[in-house]
Amino acid sequence: MQRAVGNGGEYFYWFCRGRQQGLCDMPYIPIDVLEEAVARYYGDVLVLEPEWLTAVREGVDMAVAAERGLPEDLREQ
């Protein structure tokens, strides 16, 4: 992944590691394009059990609720 700054913003791109060695000519891909493609792929092939999704959601909710009560410096740690 590469971070680029310009045109008043910050942009992130994925690229093939082989580009650095001249072994690959695939173009740089904006991060949002690649992440959408991955989500679409796994959305088609991966089936998660509803019970597991519920447990994960509950865990995330508890973590977010607990984090809100922490001072900023503790959250950063």
Q: Are 32 and 39 in contact, with CB atoms under 8 Å apart?
A: no
Is the model's pLDDT at 25 over the cut of 80? yes
Give the chain's domain count. 2
Q: What is the pLDDT of residue 54?
A: 93
Assess whether 9 and 33 both reside in one domain: yes
In the predicted model, what is the mean pLDDT of residues 5-32? 88
pLDDT for the residue 51: 94
Parent domain of 14: 1-46
pTM: 0.47
Distance CA 61, CA 27 (A): 38
Specify whether 25 is located in the same domain as 56: no
Closest of 30, 26, 25, 27 to residue 13, by C-alpha: 30
- pLDDT per residue as tens digits for the range 28-70: 899 999 989 988 888 878 888 899 989 998 988 888 777 666 6
The residue assigned the tokens 């994960």 is 56
13 with 40, same domain? yes
Residue 77 has pLDDT above 60, yes or no: no
Give the Cα separation of 54 and 56 in Å (integer).
5
> CB count, 10 Å around CB of 30?
13
Domain match, 40 and 65 both: no
